[in-house]
Structure 1
Amino acid sequence: MIRTPLRPLARILRARDRGENPDEIEAENRRLRHEAIQDKARRRAEGRLVLMSACFILAFATVGLRMGALASSEPSEPRAQVLSSQIISQRADITDRRGRVLATNLLTHSVYAHPHQMIDPVGAARGLAQIFPDLDEERLIRDFTGTRKFMWIKRKISPEQMQAVHDIGEPGLLFGPREMRIYPNGSIASHILGGSGFGQEGVSSAEVLGIAGVEKAFDNWLRDPSHDGAPLALSIDLTAQSAMEEVLASGMKVMNAKGAAGILLEIKTGEIVAMASLPDFDPNDRPRPLLKGDASDSPLFNRAVQGQYELGSTFKIFPIAQAMDLKLINPNTSINSTSPIKIGKYLIHDFHNYGKTLSVTDVIVKSSNVGTVRIAQMLGIERQKDFLKKLGLFEPTSIEMVEAPTGQPLVPSRWPAVTAATVSFGHGLAASPLHLAAAYATIGNHGRKVTPTLIHGRKRPEGEQILSPRAAELAIGMLRQVVTRGTARRADVEGYEVAGKTGTADKPRPSGGYYKNKVVATFASVFPASDPQYVLVVTLDEPSITNARGGESRTAGLTAVPVAAELVRRLAPLLGLKARTDEKLPTIAARFQPRVEPASGDGVRLVSNK
């Protein structure tokens, strides 16, 4: 902007020539300049007033419209928002196949202290010790009166405890919001879920991490915000899982067993409907792992997945099914069953003398060790090993749990003739009950391999055809006869066509050899036999029951089989399978009462012939 001078030289000179006063020119220019400044200021003020008026009109219009919208809307309860809401969304829920919650999150609080801000540190320590009896009052006093600037008191507290701490009235005791992982069903499916703990922690949040089971295996998936909080749907059914654990616990108690495991697997999909290991634990208060001693003594040990057991005569169906697949035998083929049979320097005996010959069907029905060895010798070592490997008995299962790799089967490093013989009837190769369930599911699936899974509804590639459908069908028929007239007659639950095989194996000593009075009793079954849909495996660790004659019975036919029968009665209706009869069922304990029966043929003795 060009400013006009108050005393322009040209006008001053002309005014002097005319005899006028030059000061009047300056006064006139000053007046004009002041008027221009006032006009500009007035226009600016008017503009500001117009803008302010427009803002007020817009604000009042917005408030009016919002009030109108609220007046015309349906009334609803207001929801408070908290700063830690983003923490809750960081870990997804876990549900069963029907959407019922197995693991979820809960907003709770932690309590921490700033000792330098405390007014009465001694009183605060005493008050905290009364609220939390596990805290050491003397130690709290030392910490509060020392040089510490910060310390955790409790990382998780209940609302009642929070109020009690608040009532102490100490400004140096502070609370922080955080997410807490809870398992509303307590110990149900505890080994599957595993548990969780805190990772990185702050006063206003804490990182929740999986530490075992599917919580650990799917830790990244559960924390991935891109899933928009969608839950992880497991294949298990909460009702079936609860029933299995209840029956197993009752059976374990009646049979005086050290532990128990049970697996219910859907054959066509490989999905695990229920899987339990006892004793169990509450993942809300997960115990500490054992630092010494036998790992199986800890409730954290998952017998179904991590247990490595010689599963005894349940293996006998494998060489028989393979030999039928290769057309080396048929169900009516006569097998030399003269006992004992000599393998190298060992003699292998049958539990009973079954005569000179047995049909292949009777070899499995009577559980003849000698007959099974004869059939395994027809196969040869390499074909036997190849078949067992295809069944998945040489590698850990691919189940979606961090414990799966620890369930590596104990496979002999050398495979001489005596090993091939003993493995054929379930000794010398140790695998988990889950391995056994998958192998039986493969037979039930018309010979096509089944891979077990804990995830519901995922499409999976079809498994390899390991057995011909005809051989698999014949094998199921033989297993059915084991139940109707063999060592597993107690498993013949009317209406459900159970087919299965018992197995009783002596437990190995850590120092070598086998215990004489400790066994692992197993019953592996498929039902219904006419249309196999489910596999059920029950394993009891060190069972022992007093029979009617006053002696002790440990065989699977008298221990694992009654427990499995009760499980079929309880689980089959839950699975939508209708029995052919509606007869009234007795109580669990009544079904487990022993009867005097001939000992089964599951046992084996290896006698040195030096």
Structure 2
Amino acid sequence: MIRRPLRPLARILPARMRGENTAAIERENLRQRHEQMRDKARLRAEGRLLVLGLLFFCAFVTIGGRMATMASSPAEEPQAAAAGSPIISQRADITDREGRLLATNIDTYALYAQPPQMIDPEHSARELARIFPELDEEELLADFTGPRRFLWIRRTLSPEQRQAVFDIGDPGLLFGPREMRLYPNGPIAAHILGGASYGREGVSSAEVIGVAGVERQFDQYLRDPANEGAPLELSLDLSVQAALEDVLSNGMDFMNARGAAGILMDAHSGEIVAMASLPDFDPNNRPRPLTQGHPGDSPLFNRSVQGVYELGSVFKIFAVAQALELGLVNPQTMIETQGPLTWGRFRIRDMHHMPPEMTVSDVIVESSNVGTSRIAMMLGGERQRQFLDQLGLLEPTGVEMIEAPTGRPLLPANWSEISTMTISYGHGLSVSPLHLAAAYATIANGGRRVTPTLQHSATHPEGTRVMSEETAAQARSMLRQVVTQGTASLAEVEGYEVGGKTGSADKPKENGGGYYNDRTIGTFAGMFPASDPRYVIVITLDEPVETTGSQPRRTAGWTAVPVAAEVIRRTAPLLGMRPLVDDGGDAGVVLASQ
């Protein structure tokens, strides 16, 4: 903007010539300038007041209209008018393959305190210590009378506890709504489910997050509103799981074992129908991890998935199956079993006296370490390693549990010739019981690799072929003979045609200095029915001792095998399997007493 000068020369010079006062011209111009500035400021202020008045008017009209609408509407929560699926905020349920609940949510309350609002802190502290014995009255009183303005007292309350706290009548004790994760079956499938806890917490809500097991593995799915609350369906069968855990617990007590693991798996799909680890826990009250001692002593430790052990003679069938597949032997090939077999300073012996020569089938039936070692020498270390890798025995199982990667097999640092021989009968390579179940499923289903899974599905991808159907059938025949003629005779369950192999492995010492003479891992790995297997079973007992005889017995034939037989006897009918009976006469007819 061009401003008008206060002393314009065009007026000053003529005024001087006329003898007029030029200062009057400057004062007049200054006055006019001030009047112009005043007028502009007035107009700007009037415009602003007009705009502000309009804004206030619109705001009051809007608020008044909204208040009128709310006053005339019913007293209920407004519903979204937009079409679409509602947002599901709670954690989804977990069910078994039949839709039975394994994990769900219940509404509860949390208890917190605001000390500045408390009327009688001493009375409140005393009553809370009475209602919750785990709380300390003196600590509560110190918190209530100290500088703290907020503190949590209990994350969850039962209805009875909430009423008792309400009866205290102190306005500084407040309740916050919560959803609590509930496992209605208690410790059943505890290691699979894992457990849940609270993440972010507020006074009016809390975030439930998985801390272990499938709760942690599928945490994102269970919390995803896009799933609209659809439950996570597992491959487990609740009734079979309960039966397995019951038999395994009784067997562990009867055999004086330190721990136990059991797996029942579909041989074709790899779906885990039941899987247990003992000792276990209640996920509704998940214990704290051990801070000292061996991790395997914790009830949180999953022996089926995390525990890796030398499992003994159950490995022998793998060496024989590979030799059959390569055409190096057939079931009737004679193998030298004269012992001991010497390799450097190592001596490989059999537990019992063996004849100088045995057929390949008899090597499995009689469980000859020497015979299996000689077959392994035909294979060589490199081919043995490749075959075991194809069976999935050299890497984590990949089952859908957060603990699965920790169950990594322990391989020899140098896969030497002596390692090849000892691995053939289950020493020198440590795997989990779940690894073993998957490998046996490959033999049971006709030679295709199986990947263990906890997800129930109508279809599963077909695994890669590891051995021919003929080789798998020959291996199954040998495993059947182990039950009918060999070390697993106590596994025979009338009507279900069981096949399998025992394994009794000495436990290595914790400091790495050899093996214990009186501590073993007893294992039975099998399948049923052996002629056309549908299911694979693995039972493992840690340090079992059978004491009903004159001498304590620790081998799997006396410890793990009877437990496996009872599991089959209890679970096969639950799986819809009818016992096979002879057609002749009334031999297969059983009359139930009234």
Tell me which interval the TM-score lies in, with the shorter structure as reference length: 0.7 to 0.9
Decide whether the 8 Å contact of 2:500 with 2:527 is kept in 1: yes
Decide whether the 8 Å contact of 2:87 with 2:226 is kept in 1: no
User: Where in structure 2 are the equivalents of 1:114-513 lying within 5 Å?
Assistant: 114-457=114-457, 459-511=459-511, 512-513=513-514
Residues 1:525 and 2:523 aligned together: no
The one-character-per-residue Cα deviations of 1:261-291 (angstroms, maximum 9, x if unpaired) are: 0000001111000000011000000000011
Does the residue aligned with 2:573 lie in a helix, a strand or coil?
A: helix
Q: Tell me: CA distance 1:87–1:115, structure 2 relative to 1, closer, same or farther (3 Å).
A: farther
In the TM superposition, residue 218 of structure 1 has moved relative to its aligned partner by 0.4
The one-character-per-residue Cα deviations of 1:113-157 (angstroms, maximum 9, x if unpaired) are: 111011111111111111111111111111111111111111100
Q: What letter corresponds to residue 374 of structure 1 in structure 2?
A: R
Decide whether the 8 Å contact of 1:87 with 1:179 is kept in 2: no
The one-character-per-residue Cα deviations of 1:313-351 (angstroms, maximum 9, x if unpaired) are: 000000100110111111001111111111222111111
TM-score scaled to structure 2, two decimals?
0.83
Decide whether the 8 Å contact of 2:88 with 2:229 is kept in 1: no
In the TM superposition, residue 353 of structure 1 has moved relative to its aligned partner by 2.2
In the TM superposition, residue 88 of structure 1 has moved relative to its aligned partner by 7.5
Cα distance in 2 for partners of 1:583, 1:240 equals 25
Q: What letter corresponds to residue 151 of structure 1 in structure 2?
A: L
- Unpaired runs of at least 5, structure 2: 1-67, 80-85, 582-587
In the TM superposition, residue 583 of structure 1 has moved relative to its aligned partner by 7.0
Residues 1:516 and 2:517 aligned together: yes
User: Where in structure 2 are the equivalents of 1:94-133 lying within 5 Å?
Assistant: 94-133=94-133
Decide whether the 8 Å contact of 1:507 with 1:520 is kept in 2: yes
Cα distance in 1 for partners of 2:417, 2:234 equals 43
Cα distance in 2 for partners of 1:256, 1:584 equals 34
In the TM superposition, residue 585 of structure 1 has moved relative to its aligned partner by 12
Q: What letter corresponds to residue 323 of structure 2 in structure 1?
A: A
**1:534: which partner in 2?**
535
In the TM superposition, residue 460 of structure 1 has moved relative to its aligned partner by 3.3
Cα distance in 1 for partners of 2:347, 2:136 equals 65
Decide whether the 8 Å contact of 1:502 with 1:524 is kept in 2: yes
In the TM superposition, residue 399 of structure 1 has moved relative to its aligned partner by 0.4
Cα distance in 2 for partners of 1:451, 1:173 equals 53
Does the residue aligned with 1:414 lie in a helix, a strand or coil?
A: coil
Residues matched between the structures, number: 511
Cα distance in 1 for partners of 2:446, 2:215 equals 34
Does the residue aligned with 2:506 lie in a helix, a strand or coil?
A: strand
**2:6: which partner in 1?**
none
**2:546: which partner in 1?**
545
Decide whether the 8 Å contact of 2:88 with 2:228 is kept in 1: no
Q: Tell me: CA distance 1:213–1:571, structure 2 relative to 1, closer, same or farther (3 Å).
A: same
Does the residue aligned with 2:354 lie in a helix, a strand or coil?
A: coil
Decide whether the 8 Å contact of 1:209 with 1:219 is kept in 2: yes
**2:59: which partner in 1?**
none
Cα distance in 2 for partners of 1:123, 1:292 equals 40
Cα distance in 1 for partners of 2:123, 2:381 equals 77
Q: Tell me: CA distance 1:584–1:341, structure 2 relative to 1, closer, same or farther (3 Å).
A: farther
Does the residue aligned with 1:448 lie in a helix, a strand or coil?
A: coil
Does the residue aligned with 1:310 lie in a helix, a strand or coil?
A: coil
Shift >4 Å, 4+ stretches: 581-586
Q: Tell me: CA distance 1:373–1:310, structure 2 relative to 1, closer, same or farther (3 Å).
A: same
Cα distance in 1 for partners of 2:590, 2:213 equals 39
Decide whether the 8 Å contact of 1:88 with 1:107 is kept in 2: no
The one-character-per-residue Cα deviations of 1:189-218 (angstroms, maximum 9, x if unpaired) are: 000000010101000001111000000000
Decide whether the 8 Å contact of 2:281 with 2:287 is kept in 1: yes
Cα distance in 1 for partners of 2:422, 2:188 equals 37
Q: Tell me: CA distance 1:312–1:206, structure 2 relative to 1, closer, same or farther (3 Å).
A: same
Identity %: 62
Cα distance in 1 for partners of 2:167, 2:356 equals 86
Decide whether the 8 Å contact of 2:108 with 2:180 is kept in 1: yes
Decide whether the 8 Å contact of 1:349 with 1:370 is kept in 2: yes
> Pairwise CA RMSD of aligned residues?
2.3
Instruction: Judge which range, 460-469 or 367-376, deviates more.
Output: 460-469
Q: What letter corresponds to residue 172 of structure 2 in structure 1?
A: G
In the TM superposition, residue 254 of structure 1 has moved relative to its aligned partner by 0.6
Decide whether the 8 Å contact of 1:314 with 1:503 is kept in 2: yes
In the TM superposition, residue 573 of structure 1 has moved relative to its aligned partner by 0.5
Q: Tell me: CA distance 1:378–1:225, structure 2 relative to 1, closer, same or farther (3 Å).
A: same
**2:42: which partner in 1?**
none
In the TM superposition, residue 292 of structure 1 has moved relative to its aligned partner by 1.4
Cα distance in 1 for partners of 2:522, 2:426 equals 12
Decide whether the 8 Å contact of 1:381 with 1:420 is kept in 2: yes
Decide whether the 8 Å contact of 1:90 with 1:224 is kept in 2: no
In the TM superposition, residue 458 of structure 1 has moved relative to its aligned partner by 5.8
Q: What letter corresponds to residue 93 of structure 2 in structure 1?
A: D
User: Where in structure 2 are the equivalents of 1:31-70 lying within 5 Å?
Assistant: none
Decide whether the 8 Å contact of 1:311 with 1:504 is kept in 2: yes
Q: What letter corresponds to residue 391 of structure 1 in structure 2?
A: L
Decide whether the 8 Å contact of 1:88 with 1:106 is kept in 2: no
